[in-house]
Amino acid sequence: MTATPDTFLTTRWTLVRHATGHSAEGRQALSELCAACYAPVVAFLHRSGRDEDAAREVAHGFFEAILEKPALGGAEPGRGRFRSYLLGALKHHLSHRRERDARQKRGGGVDIVVLDAGTDTSPGIDPGDAQSLPPDREFDRQWALHILHRATEALAAEWRDAGKAEEFAALQPFIGGESAHGALAALAASRGESAATLRKTVSRMRQRFRHHMKAELAPTLADGATADNEMRALLAALSG
């Protein structure tokens, strides 16, 4: 039986949990998940006191290590969420770095990892953010922002493919319900539509947005875990 895209999404983290050095499927799944979570890792490292360049350098070393050895000792894939696994693995990696640096100061040897600058990607964070969150909470906040961004891009592509790019641009501010009171009615009047019709369109957009959020979250959850709980956790991270 051919696997559907939804089946692939819900089993990708299962592949990672059982990945070994000889499992091509597991390593590919892990590589894809890691590629999608660069920003939260850099944000955590930045909030931990490193400047942006140093945070990126450590992030590269971390991803090289996790792709080479998925378990990373103290990390626990069985915890269910790739988000939790990744943060645990990152902390273990940093602990190992501190031990290695301490040995170096005592005269021990150290291997230098040459980083490929060509693999750098934008961390997608705002170093000028005045809000000083603890590293763990900033990690979750950046993870949530990444999921929201990906879901918005998927929704925009859906509307664009339907020839409704302009409609999406006009209605996007209403997806989160944050627009001023009466703004939707005013927009409906400017478009020559009834407010009731436009409200139905917005309601449909919100449903599709939730669908895309769940689709983004599914690959990061263990089988049996619900995307609804993860969505609530991430929205709580955004609300501070």
Predicted confidence at residue 71, as pLDDT, reads 61
pLDDT tens-digit readout, 31-48: 777 777 888 899 889 888
CB 72 within 8 A of CB 89: yes
Domain ranges (residues) in the chain: 5-108+131-239
Can you spell out the DSSP letters for 35-102? Answer: HTTHHHHHHHHHHTT--HHHHHHHHHHHHHHHHH-TTTTT--GGGSBHHHHHHHHHHHHHHHHHHHHH
Using 70 as the pLDDT threshold, list the residues of the chain that sit under it: 1-22, 70-80, 103-132, 177-181, 222-225, 240
Predicted confidence at residue 178, as pLDDT, reads 57
Q: Which long-range contacts (CB under 8 A, 24 or more apart) does 198-205 make?
A: 198/171, 201/167, 201/171, 202/171, 202/174, 202/175, 205/155, 205/159, 205/168, 205/171, 205/174, 205/175
Predicted confidence at residue 123, as pLDDT, reads 33
Could you tell me the two tokens for 41? 């890792």
Give 133: exposed, middle or buried? Use CB within 10 Å, 0-12, 13-18, 19+: middle
Instruction: Count CA atoms closer than 13 A to 88's CA, side-chain side.
Output: 16
Predicted confidence at residue 141, as pLDDT, reads 86
Predicted confidence at residue 158, as pLDDT, reads 95
